[in-house]
Structure 1
């Protein structure tokens, strides 16, 4: 149902899926930016649900079938990964979805390329790019990735260390004059506080908010069907 492709971003090959062969050209495509340890494969069900709209699902550097460079894990490098997929897929206008930390990459891209973006969807993440503490890699690898079998095939340890080493705290506070769907869980664990939501209201001139009463940060696990239907409804409203 989707083509598997790779594009070259300054010698780093970035893998993505593209449903172009089964999509209708009159619908604006969607690019999906997965979360920190997520891969493109985990969104193939969304790609199928979105048909006949074209979807492009990418795996960022160090994840999935993309390359794992020794360095190059700051916000700008991840934004460049998106840009390389945009060029390879020959996209002029598109919707952009980012989930969890992938939302910061998507938001960073959107703030620099608003003329390309029809709309932005933010999955439970504040308008910022976060620095990671020194002890984060070991905790993340040993307490989450290994117990949940998310090591290597999902994200490589060297990428985890690279993200910690190179990430800086950046406020993504450029105004957005495009439609934005901001989503957040209402239970403990959500990464979007009331203060964060107020920031989105200040930044976005066309904001829709969706909240999920049975989820914290894990909207895709706890309320996936509702989350996906909200995404589809939002995109269909815009076109």
Structure 2
């Protein structure tokens, strides 16, 4: 049986996986649409879970929002960051697992399609020292579903990707994690996930242990 010694690192998606931020994103998409002449729906917001910010900007523009892409992205991200400064809505079991991993000396990274600034804010709100590396959208040449974010995170941690577990909640993220070579864990939230693939599904992180994560390497 694998042991925790075989687990080199855990690589975390952020939005919807570590933190329950998707409702915040969707609320801000509604606000931008209302303020700038567009129309929006929850279904449109959910369809963007796991998408990069370029695709998000295109979708919101297509819904009638009259803003340049860069301004639109900046407006959305600033509003979400402001919300996270007030409170970070951790997903069930996430903080507990981060604490347990930190106590056992297993490093963690965030690999996200959101900005480095936002990911650094979340890393700073995590249990002290638990998240030591952040890879945001601007830190890679290709975002998810490319494997580059996860490969970059493993590189910065100085570990082999095949000795890592990547935790995701979206189809794009799962594709990225699986292509990287990491053992891939899906924790469903708002997004519709594939029925099958080279990944394990847990319905929640609550109650899970470091040994449970390590066992995924087997």
TM-score using structure 2 length: 0.41
Higher relative contact order (CA 8 A, sep 6+): 2
TM-score using structure 1 length: 0.38
Say which structure is richer in strand. Answer: 1
Say which structure is richer in helix. Answer: 2
